[in-house]
A and B are shown apart, each in its own frame.
Chain A
Amino acid sequence: MTRKKITAALVGNPNSGKTTIFNNVTGGRQHVGNYPGVTVEKKEGYKNLGDKEFAIIDLPGTYSLTAYSQEEVVTRNFIVNDKPDVVIDILDASNLERNLYLTIQLLELEHPLLLALNMVDVAEDLGVKINDSKLSQCLNGAPVVRTIGVRNEGTDTMLLAAAEASDNKQSNGFKLDYGSDVEEAIKKLEPLLAALHNEIKFPVRWLALKLLENDANIKQSLAKLSNSDSVINECDKIRVELSHKIGEDVELFVAGQRYQFVGKVYQQIADVRDAHAITTSDKIDKVLTNRLFGLPIFFGLMWVVFNLVFTIGDIPSGWIEDAFGKLGEFIGNAMSDGSLKSLVVDGIIGGVGGVLTFVPGIILLFLAISILEDTGYMARAAFIMDRMMRKFGLHGKSFIPLLLGFGCSVPAIMGSRMLENPRDRMITILVSPLMSCSAKLPVYTVLIAAFFDPSVAGNVLFSIYILGIILLMIMASIFRKTLFKGESEPFVMELPPYRVPTLKSIVLHMWERSSLYLKKAGTIILAASILMWFLTNYPSEVEYSKDYEALTVQAEETYTRQVSEDVLAPLNIEDVEQNEQLTALVGEIQDVNTEFDEATAELEEDSAEYTELETAKTEKMQQIETDNPELYASAAKYVELTASLEEEKTHLENEQTGEKLERSYSGQLGKFVEPVIQPLGFDWRVGVSLVAGVTAKEVVLSTMGTIYSLGETDENSKSLKHALAQDPNLNPLVAYSLMVFVLIYSPCLAALAVMKRETNSWKWPAFSLLYGTALAWVVTFIVYQGGKLLGFGS
């Protein structure tokens, strides 16, 4: 069966239940993209009904159709340029007066229009009854249907009515009378515009009105046409004349007229039982934005969100990390050594795993955000925080993404899309990496443990966090005054009624956002991980300063000789296994050693617990010695020799890895940047770590581990701490400078990739990388040189 195709565009005020209807009608069959050139999301879904196939476009929620916001321009351009077969205007019946203001403007676009009175149940609960046939009558017979979006009631009827409305290619001829002065001006303009009308798709009367309103966007598109200069000049003249006549801006006059008309219509169609009833929503609001409890409740909820994203999200992240670790091991064992294996295991599996570990946190973040949004609390959060955030050029809503920045910049940047104004969004995106994210923490802790006394450790760490926040405020104010200047975004904002969100819309929301992250950011992160793998592993053929293989062989030979001289010869055997008692004893001694090493792995050597365990170990050894007086010495010697061979081999291996890294492209890069970072107290080894740290900040630590020839390193590593503490180039001042630098410099690759996705351009991630690194250099320079002047540099 071939179905008749009908495109329907959903338009309506924010919070009118438009998206709920869209989700309920289209289910999972939707596609999310962006309108070209703007960050407004484009959502399209499909639905088959009878012999018709509906393509439904969810246009952004708007209150009006002016040129002041991207959303409004997208909406009106879509209706005029893409010519959907029908426009469905979703109206919140419980808030009809303001909703009808948009309806009037939609009717003026002269396109087939269906009105869907949504949330009629809510309206009736509030004691508001709407007479739909009267409404239709007032608007020149525009068809009206009733829906309850949350329960998916009336939506099929809505689509069928829309199909019917689409058959009338003509508009219903609705015209609002703006009074004789305006109408006269329109009459003068219409013939001028009709001459241009072949090239521009907007209706002539609408164009005339918009030009009288001095609509910047329409003027721009007119200016592009040939021969339009005289028309535009004429329009300007007529507009100025008109505004003198009516004594105010035409734009505001026109808006006022529309509201007057709407007010009259509303009085005729609505039967309001009690206009001053205090709603349940008002009662909830009295508590949640209370002068005393408002802030504590807000911070409590933020604490819950933060923990949801980072504490609970860490659990599945850990599973994913483990699973990919195992997968890497498994594939690594199945493949023969070589660069292909290294690419697959370290580059691809490591990279994909890195992308996926973010996913649980991101899913939970979007769960939290959509719950906050759908319940109506998000607007209140902004209401509560606005005064504080405005002080440094941000918006009340910026608080939530910035708070998330303490966990990770990726959700912080993604969360900033809840800010509608592009300027506020950009500033929030650009400053959020200045928060000390959780990946920077291990770098701080190791450096602090290596260079600072435990009594000041907490203060040092705290000072870094505070430095980040202070810089964030400074940079936000600077960005507001330079890059994103102009009028600050007004806080004229609807505080929607509190509602119980539907599971379906929350789940869809979560899925949409998370899959976008995977698709867009994921591919960039993966590509970048492979690039970093290449930089740290190539060139693969390196001329080493020592012949590591020969040294290893030599160490093994020495070992064999010593074992046979000191252990085997005296007992007249050729192999340890020839003497069962000796073999058992060696095993016993090794067990005691392993047990001790495991127990003390995370202890300080001078701690009481460590000493206690050491005494216990010595006692056990003495016990073994007493039990086996004749063989103990040989066994102990054997264990000692074996251990020192292992140590020697690991040392050589690490030294070789370190040297390979030094000669790799990233090592060369580190050497290349050395002169630039020398004034900050850093040598090339720090340079390599910082370069590698762009992949992810915790990589700074593991790279330092490799360079300091220690093999695998993490924040619990005592050996890295010791190696750092002993390095002559490092001291507390350099360590602090390094922490400052790590705090500020370029966001990690994942954050840059998400920035690219959210801003739809490479310009901003590039800018963020450069400004972050430049700022880091300047601040670190001040810290290091200032510290040296004050005598901290030794």
Chain B
Amino acid sequence: MSKVLSEFLPGEKGTVKKVTGNSMIKRRIIDMGVVAGAVIEVQKYAPLGDPMEVKVKGFNLSLRKKEAEMIEMETA
């Protein structure tokens, strides 16, 4: 099943299918290792509900929901 990363719940895990959207933020996301095939696990959302924290390639990354919408995921 595929959905975007911002729809994931804490603890949910999936594989990156594609990163869409505008080039600067996209570039930044990709530079941080969020590339096709990378496994991402959602850790939590911030107390105010945004941004979110995920684990990718062994480190913790935060991104806003709006940015996570650009990441198309494949759930296991």
Contacts and interface: CB of A to CB of B under 8 A. Distances in A.
Given A97-B58, A490-B25, A495-B62, A255 B46 contact: no
A334 interface: no
Interface of B: 19, 22-33, 35-38, 43-51, 53, 57-64, 67
A686 B50 CA distance: 47
Interface stretch (A196-204, A384-392, A658-666): A384-392
29 contacts: A68-B24, A68-B28, A94-B58, A95-B57, A98-B57, A251-B23, A252-B30, A259-B35, A260-B37, A282-B43, A289-B47, A290-B47, A291-B44, A291-B47, A292-B47, A379-B62, A383-B51, A384-B47, A386-B51, A387-B46, A387-B48, A387-B51, A491-B63, A492-B67, A494-B32, A495-B53, A495-B59, A496-B59, A497-B60
A63 interface: yes
Contact of B60 (A260, A490, A494): A494
Given A101-B31, A291-B47, A256 B62 contact: no
B51 to A, nearest CB: 5
B49 A494 contact: no
B38 to A, nearest CB: 8
A383 B62 contact: yes
A383 B57 contact: no
Interface of A: 63-64, 66, 68, 94-95, 97-98, 101, 249, 251-252, 255-256, 259-260, 263, 275, 282, 285-286, 289-292, 294-295, 379, 383-384, 386-388, 390, 487, 490-497
Contacts of B60: 282, 285, 494-497
B22 A487 contact: yes
Nearest to B53: A495
B24 A493 contact: no
Given A252-B30, A387-B46, A491 B24 contact: no
Given A98-B57, A295-B47, 8 more contacts: A64-B31, A251-B23, A255-B31, A259-B30, A259-B35, A290-B47, A492-B32, A494-B59
Nearest to B38: A259
Contact of A383 (B28, B37, B53, B67): B53
A384 B38 CA distance: 26
A259 B37 CA distance: 10
Given A383-B62, A492-B32, A495-B62, A294 B47 contact: yes
Contacts of B24: 68, 487, 490
Given A95-B58, A490-B67, A255 B35 contact: yes
Contacts of B64: 386, 390, 490-491
Given A66-B31, A260-B35, A289 B23 contact: no
A252 B29 CA distance: 10
Nearest to A387: B48
A255 B27 contact: yes
Contacts of B46: 289, 294, 383-384, 386-387
Contacts of A259: 30, 33, 35, 38
Contacts of A98: 32-33, 57-59
Nearest first, the 9 A-B pairs at minimum CB distance are: A294-B47, A387-B48, A495-B60, A64-B31, A259-B35, A490-B25, A491-B64, A97-B57, A255-B30
B49 A387 contact: yes
Contact of A384 (B27, B30, B48): B48
Given A251-B27, A289-B53, A101 B33 contact: yes
Contacts of B31: 63-64, 66, 101, 255
Contact of A492 (B22, B45, B63): B63
A384 B52 CA distance: 10
Contacts of B23: 249, 251-252
A264 to B, nearest CB: 11
Given A251-B23, A252-B19, A487-B22, A494 B61 contact: yes
Given A249-B23, A256-B36, A384-B48, A492 B53 contact: no
A63 B37 CA distance: 20
A260 B49 CA distance: 33
Contacts of A390: 64
Most buried by A among B36, B37, B43, B62: B62
B19 A275 contact: no
A252 B28 contact: no
Nearest to B22: A487
Contacts of B62: 379, 383, 491-495
A260 B16 CA distance: 13
A493 B23 CA distance: 17
A295 B28 CA distance: 28
Contact of B61 (A255, A263, A291, A495): A495
Contacts of B53: 285, 289, 383, 495
Contacts of A292: 47
Most buried by B among A251, A294, A383, A491: A491
Contacts of A263: 37
A64 B26 CA distance: 13
Nearest to A105: B31
Contacts of A384: 46-48
A176 to B, nearest CB: 15
A94 B37 CA distance: 21
B70 to A, nearest CB: 10
A492 B67 CA distance: 8
Contacts of A101: 31, 33
A488 to B, nearest CB: 9
B35 to A, nearest CB: 4
